[in-house]
Amino acid sequence: MARTPIMAGNWKMNLDHLEAAHLVQSLAWNLKDASHDYSQVEVVVVPPFTDIRTVQSLVESDELSIRYGAQDVSIHDEGAYTGEISTGMLNKLGVTYVVVGHSERREYHNESNELVGQKAKKVLDAGMTPIMCCGEALEIRKAGQHVSYVLGQIDAMLANLTAEEVAKSVIAYEPIWAIGTGEVATPEDAQEVCGAIRNRISELFDGPVAEAVRIQYGGSVKSSNVREIMAKPDVDGALVGGASLKADEFTKIATYLK
């Protein structure tokens, strides 16, 4: 079965709920104008927690086909965890995807592969889909260790997931040196690691699981480079930061097939 490409816009800590409404409306309008077929390319926005309720209201009232996600989640269900948000809370807001283990969370909040794996499990248990991030820093790439490093992350993150869970998950390969730097990995760089991840999943589970899992590339994806990256066989979508904050630019990325 062919994998449906998935374009997800990670807004990071940008846009308040009013700005969020504006961006989602503009995006929906643009995509309608372009007769976008959402079954051909899935379109996802990943706003800050404080915007999710607003995005939900718009998506439901206007019956939009845009899906939305959250940027992180707690491993706890409820209780004395100041500042945390649970999977139950996200579920109630109609969230489809939850990004776990973004390199910025790993760096600024010391998140380990094990914790990221636990978060992914929590998300799956709640009936949502994790977007599990991995990727190497520049020194690792320069030392030529990027493939083994990323596969180590994959092994640890997937250790407690079943084959069925992995098959419906999304993995985002985001080399840290290419995030927000304008420095984009070449399509060959993206394919090298995305292909290695898929191979590893076929070793850890089986061929059909590897064929089903969707693997995104992320790091300075723009309308000007998305086509060549998406042309690679093991790249099934993009996790887009900066370029997802502009409706016109993200529309072009989502409609890269046209």
Tell me the catalytic residues: 102, 174
Q: Nearest approach, Cβ of 210 to ligand PGA (angstroms)?
A: 23
By CB under 6 A, how many residues form the interface with ligand PGA?
13
Which one, 174 or 205, has the nearer CB to ligand PGA? Answer: 174
Q: Does 88 bind ligand PGA (CB under 6 A)?
A: no
Q: Does 9 bind ligand PGA (CB under 6 A)?
A: no
Binding mask 33-72 for ligand PGA (x = CB under 6 A): ----------------------------------------
Binding mask 200-239 for ligand PGA (x = CB under 6 A): ------------------xxxx-----------------x
Question: Which residue's Cβ has the minimum distance to ligand PGA?
Answer: 241
Binding mask 140-179 for ligand PGA (x = CB under 6 A): ----------------------------------x----x
Which residues 13-32 are close enough to bind ligand PGA by CB under 6 A? none
Which one, 73 or 210, has the nearer CB to ligand PGA? Answer: 73
Q: What is the 3-state secondary structure (H, E, C) of 132-153?
A: EEECCCHHHHHCCCHHHHHHHH
- According to CB under 6 A, which one of 191, 241, 253, 255 is a site residue for ligand PGA? 241
Distance CA 136, CA 140 (A): 6
Q: Does 186 bind ligand PGA (CB under 6 A)?
A: no
Distance CA 74, CA 83 (A): 9
Query: What is the DSSP annotation of the chain?
Result: -PPPPEEEEE--S---HHHHHHHHHHHHHHHHHTT--TTTSEEEEE--HHHHHHHHHHHHHTT---EEEES---SSSSSS-TT---HHHHHHTT--EEEE--HHHHHHS---HHHHHHHHHHHHHTT-EEEEEE---HHHHHTT-HHHHHHHHHHHHHTT--HHHHHT-EEEE--GGGSSSS-PPPHHHHHHHHHHHHHHHHHHS-HHHHHHSEEEEESS--TTTHHHHHTSTT--EEEESGGGGSHHHHHHHHTTT-
Distance CA 49, CA 247 (A): 20
Binding mask 113-132 for ligand PGA (x = CB under 6 A): --------------------
Q: Nearest approach, Cβ of 174 to ligand PGA (angstroms)?
A: 6
Which one, 219 or 237, has the nearer CB to ligand PGA? Answer: 219
**Interface with ligand PGA (CB under 6 A):** 10, 174, 179-180, 218-221, 239-243
